[in-house]
Amino acid sequence: MALLSDLINLNLSDTTKKVIAEYIWIGGSGMDLRSKARTLPGPVSDPSKLPKWNYDGSSTGQAPGEDSEVILYPQAIFRDPFRGGNNILVICDAYTPAGEPIPTNKRHHAAKIFSHPDVAAEETWYGIEQEYTLLQKDVKWPLGWPVGGYPGPQGPYYCGIGADKAWGRDIVDAHYKACLYAGINISGINGEVMPGQWEFQVGPSVGISAGDELWAARYILERITEIAGVVLSFDPKPIQGDWNGAGAHTNYSTKSMRNDGGFEVIKKAIGKLGLRHKEHIAAYGEGNERRLTGRHETADINTFLWGVANRGASIRVGRDTENAGKGYFEDRRPASNMDPYVVTSMIAETTLLWKP
């Protein structure tokens, strides 16, 4: 008799050309990922060759019950690490039947910014450091922490190893490999300052692909934690008190910043970001005020400052960039629950298109 695991791991390519496409979209909260699968007659590698689909928007907080149909437009394809073979994950955005982007479709506006000739010419590169917290399922308390209690103070956990310092490494490594399999440009992982908290990095990715890849990586991570029976949290301050919050530091460069004389371009870009600090903060994730307190490696939410190698600044420039006179900078303000389509396109818009 076949075991359930045998059936899950069946290789469909032995018997059929058909493949399974998992359509993925963002729900009404702006952070709740949804997905459903459909069968395709054969392998597909170009999103434009995939059929549009629909879903019940009244069940995701994105449409009224009397007019509930929302249309999914396939935008990016990744290999499916769960089903393997030629099966795929499909990142979609959502539209009304008339073809208008729904309010929670942040990708549509971002794509318009990235397709602007002045932005496209600069080949915007992003590297996003996604922090997250693993929680015990039934008590919603960090993995490895005594229920209702606390571990020892922060210090030994950042990039730490050992059964008393690192909890959830099997999930983290499974996610790392699954993202590489999927074709996501994941560039690394590490344990974070608060125990039970981890980080992965996506990039360098160009333009709109940074958002597509980060959302796909989030989806894969949530599926893996589902399998492991662990809850995934992107809350920017999951535990109050003397514990680090969770951010999504966003590293950014343009072609002009990467060329000789780029440090001057970087300083001008940072100056423009400072002038729009309030607008950026408003778009950089909910609950960020609980994280950006001026403590725990953050700047105060109401203060904009930048510095070289300063992890207490809004914008950090690395020593290597200062020494080379060119490179990139890091926006440390985005919260872990930010929308990468919003953050990446807003940085590009402010630094390349906005006129003070």
For residue 318, the Cα-to-chain-centroid distance in whole angstroms is 22
DSSP secondary structure code for residue 132 in this structure: E
Cα atoms found within 13 Å of the Cα of residue 34, Cβ hemisphere only: 19
Digit-by-digit pLDDT tens for the chain (356 residues) are: 779 988 888 888 889 999 999 999 999 999 999 999 999 999 999 999 999 999 999 999 999 888 889 999 999 999 999 999 999 999 999 999 999 999 999 999 999 999 999 999 999 999 999 999 999 999 999 999 999 899 999 999 999 999 999 999 999 999 999 999 999 999 999 999 999 999 999 999 999 999 999 999 999 999 999 999 999 999 999 999 889 999 999 999 999 999 999 999 999 999 999 999 999 999 999 999 999 887 767 778 888 999 887 778 899 999 999 999 999 999 999 999 999 999 999 999 999 999 98
Number of H helices, E strands in the chain: 10, 13
Q: Is the peptide bond before 204 cis (omega within 30 degrees of 0)?
A: yes
* Secondary structure (H, E, C), 265-297: HHHHHHHHHHHCHHHHHHHCCCCHHHCCECCCC
**d(Cα 154, Cα 194) in Å, to the nearest integer?**
6
Residue 187 structure tokens? 């560039």
